[in-house]
Amino acid sequence: MTRRRWIAEHWDEMTATLVGAQAEHMTRVLRAQPGMEADIVAGGRVFHAEVAAVTNGHGATSVVRFNLIAELKADPALPVTLVMAVYKFDRMEWAIEKATELGVAAVAPVIARRTEKHLAQAAEKRVERWRRIAHEAAQQSRRSDVPVIHEPEPLAARVRSASTDTRIVLAEQERSTSLRIALEEYVAAAQAGMPPLELAIGPEGGWAPEEEELFDANGWRAVSLGPRILRAETAAIAALAVAASFLE
């Protein structure tokens, strides 16, 4: 039987601890007792673990402490940062959940010219919720880590920032180069595997012309996902799936 997997909030070399809602679920719903086994994710590593002690508090005071028995093979995330222009929150949150399941290493929300003003203003307050969604999706998909959700920033700051990553912008107007062709070239040129990627997805209204020029002026490569216009969340998932096919 597959042991349940939990992502610990606190850990050291020998033990790990769940607190708050996760501990509450273990104590109240699963009736955790010393000796119960589980897989525990701690700091990007995975361990076969055993419950050592349970404090059945109420609400945030519940605590479950585990002894770490043996380290297990961890599946590394895809070395991909998804740069997502902020758009309709429900759709964006769906994209964060699916990107987490697909193994994304980080999501960088950016404010694009066509990001609706009220969403741009509200984005900062949504980051904690996006981080919770990523944590839950990582736990559900049995990942060994939780993707980083960066603070929202203006698109230009991300585009101009210094990076050694291979930087790609998904451009719905682009027709000459597909994402697959571009990745084939990068994999062929790279010594070991694939260089870390940044994949940028525009908002519902698409990239503004001056944004496409900014990407180009800062060395981002425009690629296509085919002739059809995809919703931003569809483009994000499709791009990650293509990238994952090169990396796994």
**Where do contacts with ligand SAM occur on this chain (CB under 6 A)?**
170-172, 201-202, 204-207, 224-226, 228-232, 235
Using the 8-state DSSP alphabet, how is residue 139 labeled?
H
Rounded to 5 degrees, what angle do the CA atoms 32, 145, 103 make?
125
Q: Minimum distance between the CB of residue 126 and ligand SAM, rounded to whole angstroms?
A: 19
Torsion sign, CA atoms 142, 34, 16, 93: positive
Q: Minimum distance between the CB of residue 69 and ligand SAM, rounded to whole angstroms?
A: 45
**Gap between the terminal Cα atoms of the chain:** 25
Rounded CA separation 168/86 (Å): 18
Question: 25 or 221, CB closer to ligand SAM?
Answer: 221
Residue with nearest beta carbon to ligand SAM = 202
Question: 195 or 205, CB closer to ligand SAM?
Answer: 205
Reading the block at residue 192, the tokens are: 């070991």
Question: 214 or 235, CB closer to ligand SAM?
Answer: 235
Q: Minimum distance between the CB of residue 108 and ligand SAM, rounded to whole angstroms?
A: 14
Question: Tell me, what amino acid is at 44?
Answer: G
The set of residues, in sequence order, having a beta carbon less than 8 Å from that of 181 and lying 6+ positions away, is 223
Question: 51 or 237, CB closer to ligand SAM?
Answer: 237
Q: Minimum distance between the CB of residue 226 and ligand SAM, rounded to whole angstroms?
A: 5
Q: Minimum distance between the CB of residue 170 and ligand SAM, rounded to whole angstroms?
A: 3
Question: 18 or 82, CB closer to ligand SAM?
Answer: 82
Q: Sort residue 226 into left (φ over 0), alpha (ψ -120 to 50) or beta.
A: left
